[in-house]
Chain A
Amino acid sequence: MAGQGIERREILRILATAAAAAQFPGFSKWVFACGHVGNVALQIKPAMYRPQFFTAAEYAMVGRLAEMSAFNPVSPVRKLYCVAEFIDFMVASDPGVQYNFRTGLTGLNADCERTLGKSFAELSPDQQTSPLEPLAHKARPGEEDNRRFFSAFREITLIGFYTSEIGFKELDHPALKLYSVSPECPHKDDPEHLYLSRVNS
């Protein structure tokens, strides 16, 4: 079965290890449910999303962590992306990861209280970055449990984001277009691509 790029397998592996969904509560903004009736997406009317797994306090913390994990650490954009809904849906659907997510949130809160005197939610946006810094860098020694939790959390956040329309647009994902001819490298005079202009490096 030549032609199966590693990336498809990889995303499935990631999703399999990260979380799963056993039921579909209906996301409020960025997901349409498809009943597989015809090739037409059956849109579920937006509804107030009620967390399926996390408590209200946990859910708020999840939302903030999602913003910080993959978006802007100091400028909340939760209402735009709603990745917290995706995370809750996935965790609610996968009993195998629920313990780790719940204890991970608890552990992070405990560390914040021990080191900064406040729970994570009570910290200012600027202060909230400091407990995450050691967790987000593999090379740094630190709390192994919290780092594993944050790694899993970051992973599921990225899945939620980069399978969303806004994630595609941010990458300028080529699947947003179709092509009349097989696209060809435009740098024929530079086969090793050693002299490309650096537009975003």
Chain B
Amino acid sequence: MARQIYDVIVIGTGAGGGMAIKTLCEAGLKVCALNAGRRLDPEKDFRYHRMPWDMKFRGLDDPKRRAESYGYMDNEYTKEAWEHEIPFTTAPGTKWMWPRCFAVGGKTNFWGRSSARFGEIDFRAASLDGYDVDWPVTYDEMAAYYTRVEKMIGVASTIQNRPSNPDGAYLPPMNFRCVDRILEAGAEKVGVPYLPDRIAQLTQKHEGHPACHFCGDCTTGCDVGAFFSTPYFLLPKAQATKNLEMRTNALAKNILVDENGRASGVAYIDRTTKQEVEVLGRAVVVAASCVESSRIMLNSKSRHWPSGIANSSGQLGRNLCDHLYGESARGYLPQLLGQPSFPDHVSDSTIAWMPRWQNLKDPHEERFIRGYSVYPDGGCLDFPWYANGLDGFGSSLKREIKRRYPTPVNFTVQAPSLRSDTNYVDLDPEVKDPYGIPVARLHFQWDENALKMWEHSKQACAEVLRAAGGVLEGAGEAPEIPGYSLHETGTCRMGNDPKGFVTNRFGQTHDVSNLYVCDASVFLNCTDKTTTISILTFSMRTSEYLVENFRRGEHQAA
């Protein structure tokens, strides 16, 4: 019996893969989706409505797992969703945190939901400040895709007319809380923007999805689908076409090639049987997330591609970028001492943002190039973390904890690293995963530019807090370790020159015309914005380009 040949094999079902799967299936192409983990069952896997005292470990985690935990996100509410079987290594001197969600939908199940568009200032950054190269796309050609994505997923925000942040098509914004109003007034005094974030959280019913009920536990999953995730928004539409076959627990090992070096399918490990399986397709989309996609492609060696598929440029795995995250300031607002508690927790913290305000008029007005954004937060949140900074004990301590409950505030910086020759992913020559596949090895250091942004943000946020009448109590001693933001980019960068870039401006690899990349690995850098909405947007564009290539007969349809 002849083996089935799918039109397209898509590796990954997160933001990039999910958008590709939906787009391709709706265009009538037969798609086989490979997902490295299982399907989540919202009823079983999303525990976000349980209270801490209903959880065995108060919602935190089994301390036996402390050594392997990814930290705040990898807790008792979500622990089975995060990947721990497949290891990775780091080069000497590199620290890297690599939380991976291999469940269907990937990290969209738990993402932070901030959804700002990249702008022309990002795509033309190199022309403005002379560092690196421009993106091979313009904002004008991406704007319509962003609009379609925003309408598809539902993004709440306002028209803000910011030079670095193009406006879009928005649902009503999240309302400002008391802490926001106070900090907004302080920010205005020092000339820093304080605005409603662009947040993919449904402030009203949208496209058949229910409005948010503001429980505040979004980052542990939403079992009603009131914020965008591919299992709720995209994959059901693909399933409805009957053009999708989803294979779960299918860990992609390498991309198969034919006698001409073109992609012919994917070899994967069935993690339930431990057996290697091959699936054939006329085109392959890699969307396994930035580092994992690089790992798969680097492991796809053949006589045609001895250093990894589509790597004639030698740039596969190179140019890894990330967002530096850190606590720029923390303190409290005396105005709110003793006030009744207020539902400040309702969005898990992305109600407001302080979008990039640096280097807008002159790309060199600061001691660093480009810019960063800040996420402020505060008020009555999950736990009175400030309690350990208070003196006393007994009733007086508890009274003070209660009195301070509405007042704490903090600021988190989101600062992009710059492209660097020394930040990259390769394969560890000595370490293999339990299935015999070489693991990814990370090489990464924060650059001086990002560290200057971090220092700048501390001063700026302290000024905002003080201008708001707040009391500054400190800031983070060091940035979070690289990888913490989950916003890694680069490693398969897009560009017009096949000698310098892995893919062309449509995410199609220069070397292998039926191999496409649909995740943040095609981005040239990570800008000051989060990545998910741009992954969706670029994936939509790449997928439609792929469909058009099928229509033109470049990839023969089944």
Contact = CB atoms under 8 A, between A and B. Distances in A.
Interface string A50-74: 0000000000000000001111110
B114 A2 contact: yes
B477 to A, nearest CB: 12
Interface string B366-400: 00000000010100111111011001111101100
Contact of A4 (B213, B214, B349, B385): B349
Given A1-B73, A3-B219, A163-B53, A185 B175 contact: yes
A42 B449 CA distance: 51
Nearest to B530: A2
Contact of B375 (A3, A170, A182, A196): A3
A123 to B, nearest CB: 15
A193 B178 contact: yes
B50 A41 contact: yes
Contact of A180 (B54, B213, B382): B213
Contact of B346 (A163, A173, A182): A182
Nearest to A23: B64
Nearest to A176: B51
B64 A171 contact: no
B336 A193 contact: yes
A165 B51 contact: yes
B341 interface: yes
A126 interface: no
A114 interface: no
Interface of chain A, main secondary structure: loop
A196 B336 contact: yes
B486 interface: yes
B403 A3 contact: no
Interface string A146-176: 0000110011001100111100101111110
A5 B530 contact: no
Interface in A187-201: 187-188, 191-194, 196, 198-201
A48 B86 CA distance: 42
B380 A191 contact: no
Contact of A70 (B62, B346, B394): B394
Contacts, number: 278
A72 B343 contact: no
B54 A34 contact: yes
Interface of chain B, main secondary structure: loop
B27 interface: no
A116 interface: no
A15 B72 CA distance: 11
A6 B46 CA distance: 22
A56 B519 CA distance: 58
Chain B interface size band reads: 35 or more
Interface stretch (B181-189, B280-288, B458-466): B181-189
B93 interface: no
A7 B174 contact: no
A7 B347 CA distance: 13
Contacts of B340: 172, 199-200
A79 interface: no
Given A73-B393, A183-B342, A185-B177, A6 B53 contact: no
A172 B382 CA distance: 11
A110 interface: no
B485 interface: yes
Interface in B469-499: 469, 484-487
Contacts of A11: 60, 382-383, 385
B64 A22 contact: yes
5 contacts: A1-B486, A12-B71, A136-B391, A158-B384, A185-B175
Given A22-B64, A137-B392, A180-B211, 14 more contacts: A2-B412, A3-B199, A4-B72, A6-B330, A20-B63, A69-B397, A138-B391, A154-B388, A165-B51, A170-B398, A171-B405, A181-B214, A183-B343, A185-B181
